[in-house]
């Protein structure tokens, strides 16, 4: 009987050792089969959300994983960014961010995270130049005429601002700084009401995403004075670059994919390669271009270098504008 008890105890011990080893081996497999979350600091339906869903679907196919997009809008993208900054660096939680990631570094005096040190850049997904549009009643028909008009009548022209502190708001501030003009900002609660007032002639000017005003330009309800890229855009070939009149002027929004800081090198390579492959696939490129954006898909090192430079570039504009968080 004693022998049977010893044998049973030995068997139970061996079973426990086996189960412990199996659980340890299975744990990574369980983690690898769990969904990847891409957090978006903007509402559903916008450009950032669209970029996340297009890239997420393509990355999921590459990695053989389910990719879920979660919208966490608020504080100019900071709510989503903070959640990712505090997440474990296991590749399960990513951030699809946008230009505000760089702007917020100087716009917000006390961020709950470091926009550089607390993140691992994976790739810049795309860039999106904007266009300076005017109501047809405005006598100026190009950038040179606009600057002359604004200098002759300081404070009499208005910029519609869809969101204070946004890249489009600061494109206007950069324009005023570069051109040496004074144009009054009229803030709105979103792009849609700003565009509506511009169409109605309540305001004269607005920097807008190409996709938001392209049809109004083609129909003649708005006139385009210049694009913020260094060169003309394929979908607006008749609209000159503002840089043709103000050399060096450039202001483009960007969308980029981040992971938390300290992402292991192997995960960094895998996730970045999957994202870049997705950006360069024909279907994703087509979807990005339909948004009026240009696909990028650069390396983590290139994206990291760009981010540091962009933070410095926007710091001067934020200071000039006197913009404060909403």
Beta-bridged to residue 209, according to DSSP, are 130
Query: Does 183 share its domain with 199?
Result: yes
- Output the pTM of the full model: 0.78
Distance CA 221, CA 198 (A): 9
The closest of 33, 16, 81, 70 to 261, measured between CA atoms, is 81
* % of the chain surpassing 70 pLDDT: 90
Query: Does 110 share its domain with 257?
Result: yes
Residue 5 lies in a domain: no
- Sign of torsion over alpha carbons 67, 303, 107, 255: negative
Q: What is the pLDDT of residues 241-280, one digit of tens each?
A: 999 999 999 988 899 999 999 999 999 999 999 999 999 9
The closest of 185, 230, 220, 204 to 132, measured between CA atoms, is 204
DSSP designation for 325: -
Confidence of residue 291 (pLDDT cuts 50, 70, 90): confident
Query: Which tokens sit at 160?
Result: 């519609």
Query: Does 133 share its domain with 236?
Result: yes
Q: Look-up: residue for tokens 């702007």?
A: 103
Q: What is the pLDDT of residues 81-131, one digit of tens each?
A: 999 999 999 999 999 999 999 999 999 989 999 999 999 999 999 998 999
Distance CA 57, CA 70 (A): 13
Query: Does 161 share its domain with 226?
Result: yes
Give the burial string for 66-82 (b: 16+ CB within 10 Å, else e).
Answer: ebebebbbebbbbebbb
Instruction: Specify the number of domains making up the chain.
Output: 2
The predicted structure's pLDDT at residue 234: 84
Q: Which of 190, 210, 244 is the last residue of a domain?
A: 244
Residue 4 lies in a domain: no
The predicted structure's pLDDT at residue 237: 92
* CB 250 within 8 Å of CB 229: yes
Query: Does 74 share its domain with 157?
Result: no
The predicted structure's pLDDT at residue 12: 45
Query: Does 258 share its domain with 123?
Result: yes
Note the residue count of the chain: 326
Confidence of residue 74 (pLDDT cuts 50, 70, 90): confident
Query: Does 134 share its domain with 227?
Result: yes
Query: Does 66 share its domain with 201?
Result: no
Q: What is the pLDDT of residues 229-249, one digit of tens each?
A: 999 988 899 999 999 999 999
Query: Which tokens sit at 209?
Result: 């995403």
Query: Does 114 share its domain with 45?
Result: yes
The predicted structure's pLDDT at residue 209: 87
Question: What are φ and ψ of residue 279, in 5° steps?
Answer: -60, -35
Beta-bridged to residue 95, according to DSSP, are 39, 258
Output the CA angle 232-233-235, nearest 5 degrees.
Answer: 140
* CB 133 within 8 Å of CB 162: no
Query: Does 238 share its domain with 271?
Result: no
Residue 21 lies in a domain: no
Query: Which tokens sit at 238?
Result: 């008749």
How many Cβ atoms from other residues are within 10 Å of residue 145's Cβ? Answer: 14
Mean pLDDT over the full length of the chain: 88
The predicted structure's pLDDT at residue 211: 81
Three-state SS at 143: helix
Residue 12 lies in a domain: no
CATH classification at residue 240: 3.40.190.10
The predicted structure's pLDDT at residue 64: 92
Query: Does 133 share its domain with 173?
Result: yes
Residue 19 lies in a domain: no
Residue 158 lies in a domain: yes
The closest of 252, 299, 264 to 280, measured between CA atoms, is 299
Query: Which tokens sit at 50?
Result: 């669209």
Residue 163 lies in a domain: yes
Q: How many CA atoms lie within 13 A of 159 on its CB side?
A: 26
Query: Which tokens sit at 152?
Result: 């002759």
Residue 40 lies in a domain: yes
- pLDDT score of 22 more than 60: no
Element (H, E) at 142: none
Q: Which of 224, 244, 264 is the last residue of a domain?
A: 244
- pLDDT score of 20 more than 80: no
* CB 212 within 8 Å of CB 233: no
Query: Does 147 share its domain with 234?
Result: yes
CATH classification at residue 92: 3.40.190.150
* CB 128 within 8 Å of CB 167: no
User: How far out from the chain centre does Cα 215 lie?
Assistant: 23
Q: Which of 185, 211, 244 is the last residue of a domain?
A: 244
Domain containing 50 equals 30-128+253-321
Q: What is the pLDDT of residues 209-228, one digit of tens each?
A: 888 899 999 999 999 999 99
Query: Which tokens sit at 28?
Result: 């990574």
């Amino acid at each position: 009987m004693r022998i049977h008890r010893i044998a049973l105890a030995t068997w139970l011990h061996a079973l426990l050792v086996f189960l412990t080893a199996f659980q340890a081996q299975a744990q990574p497999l369980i983690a690898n089969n769990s969904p990847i979350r891409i957090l978006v600091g903007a509402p559903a339906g916008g450009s950032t959300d669209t970029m996340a869903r297009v890239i997420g679907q393509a990355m999921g196919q590459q990695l053989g994983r389910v990719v879920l997009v979660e919208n966490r809008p608020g504080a100019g993208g900071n709510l989503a960014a903070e959640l990712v900054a505090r997440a474990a660096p296991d590749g399960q939680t990513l951030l699809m961010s946008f230009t505000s990631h760089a702007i917020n570094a100087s716009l917000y005096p006390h961020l709950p995270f470091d926009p550089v040190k607390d993140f691992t850049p994976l790739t810049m997904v795309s860039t999106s130049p904007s266009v300076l549009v005017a109501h047809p009643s405005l006598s100026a028909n190009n950038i040179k005429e606009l600057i002359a008009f604004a200098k002759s009548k300081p404070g009499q022209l208005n910029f519609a601002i869809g969101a204070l502190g946004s890249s489009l708001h600061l494109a206007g501030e950069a324009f005023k700084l570069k051109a040496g003009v004074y144009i009054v900002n009229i803030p709105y609660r979103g792009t849609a009401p700003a565009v509506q007032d511009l169409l109605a002639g309540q305001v004269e000017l607005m920097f807008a995403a190409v996709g938001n005003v392209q049809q109004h330009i083609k129909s003649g309800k708005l006139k385009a004075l210049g694009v913020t890229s260094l060169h003309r855009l394929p979908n607006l070939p008749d609209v000159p670059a503002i840089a043709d009149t103000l050399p060096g002027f450039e202001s483009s929004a960007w969308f980029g994919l981040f992971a938390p800081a300290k992402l292991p090198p192997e995960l960094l390579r895998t996730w970045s390669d999957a994202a870049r492959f997705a950006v360069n696939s024909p279907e994703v490129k087509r979807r990005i271009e339909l948004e009026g954006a240009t696909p990028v898909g650069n390396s983590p090192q290139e994206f990291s270098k760009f981010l540091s430079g962009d933070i410095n570039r926007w710091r001067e504009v934020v200071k000039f504008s006197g913009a404060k968080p909403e």
